[in-house]
A = this chain, B = another copy of it.
């Protein structure tokens, strides 16, 4: 006894929790997996914030609750959560349930590894290396490169001249956020016009580079988007790469959404020229359906650029007098300290499915999108752009029948943005979406 506290024996024994864990697993399989992915069930059970606060007892108190109460708490949490793995969830740039990736996620959660050093995460360090190798092979960097699974943050700067970067008006908003965060300033992100289809116009890029130079600013980087957020457009990477070479600019390709097309011999032409990029971001949690989050950042440079940018050589983690090759201690390459082994989520499913099955999924998703576009043309009263989207959205949420995002774009009014990737989705679901929009909006 020290300080009136009994120190003998553990106070928490995992075996005592075994029953609770088994019961929890059953509830998770039944409600968060089977029911959540069942097309006959609701996508969401809508409650307003006020209603939901009453249904869930959220307050944290001094006393704990019993195991049975806790089982009820999280059963409720599952019930009122949106089922993002439901076949009719088209609301975000991810969808569907991938059993192999989910199991990989469970393993990570149970083992709690963090990728600081090889000693503390040997398996996952090597898994990450294997996945990055494969992805860089697909990008076409013949001599490899370097990379890291991360929340997709680009390198930091503490710069003197006015640095300017270029990206299309259709790019993801993370580009301007990064510029703000890094102290570059959002005003130094020059937005290049895109064409009708959403692709960056290369001649406009070159004009703005020259214009920035004439202002005395220093252009340093171009971001090309492979798969824009709203229109799914692919910037012409090869032509942009020519311009970057001419002006000696860093070419970053944001292939977070569209990178998966590299797996398809039919569609990889959309990313022609990506092997010329200096860096690439690619999120397998999007079109490849790995569990959230799973984001790779890769650089073609092979002179330890990530290490040189981000290393802090913390002596309590990255001791140099270790008994093994410390180049496997990848933690010093990342911006953050704790970092989960997200690569495992894509590795395990890639092992199980093989590149060929992934290719078929990408091809099928694009064919499915093509089918939907054709059907829309056939239906009377449907236009790709709709003005009644907010009302239809409210009705679909309250009914819980499906979830599709909407938004305005340029001068166009609100329209629905369909995200199609999951192999759990069928032609029948496409027809359902059109019928349901029609039903929900027919009185408008």
Contact = CB atoms under 8 A, between A and B. Distances in A.
A142 B283 CA distance: 41
Contacts of A168: none
A321 to B, nearest CB: 5
A426 B182 CA distance: 46
Contact of A367 (B5, B52, B111): B5
B80 A123 contact: yes
Contact of A85 (B60, B112, B315): B112
A181 B22 CA distance: 44
Given A111-B32, A172-B337, A65 B134 contact: no
A282 interface: no
Interface stretch (A100-108, A199-207, A272-280): A100-108
Contacts of A24: 103, 106
A45 to B, nearest CB: 9
Nearest to A424: B10
A405 B329 CA distance: 14
Contacts of A315: 407-409
Contacts of A129: 58
B84 A120 contact: yes
Nearest to A310: B177
A354 B25 contact: no
Interface in A369-395: 370-371, 374, 390, 393-394
Contact of A111 (B83, B127, B153): B83
A423 B16 CA distance: 13
Nearest to A73: B351
Interface residues of A, number: 176
A139 interface: no
B127 A156 contact: no
A36 B370 CA distance: 49
A335 B52 contact: no
A142 B230 CA distance: 43
A44 B408 CA distance: 54
Interface in A31-58: 32-34, 36-38, 44, 46-49, 52-53, 56, 58
Given A5-B363, A110-B102, A126 B49 contact: yes
A243 interface: no
A242 interface: no
Nearest to A429: B10
Interface string A72-110: 011001101111110100011010110110111111011
Nearest to A397: B119
Contacts of A67: 352
B292 A340 contact: yes
A322 interface: yes
Given A119-B403, A285-B338, 15 more contacts: A8-B428, A10-B423, A14-B33, A25-B25, A58-B127, A63-B354, A64-B357, A73-B351, A78-B107, A81-B113, A151-B151, A315-B407, A316-B407, A319-B406, A319-B407
11 contacts: A7-B426, A12-B423, A21-B99, A69-B351, A74-B348, A77-B107, A80-B123, A81-B113, A82-B111, A156-B181, A323-B393
8 smallest beta-carbon distances between A and B, as pairs: A183-B183, A64-B354, A156-B181, A105-B109, A58-B130, A12-B423, A7-B427, A32-B110
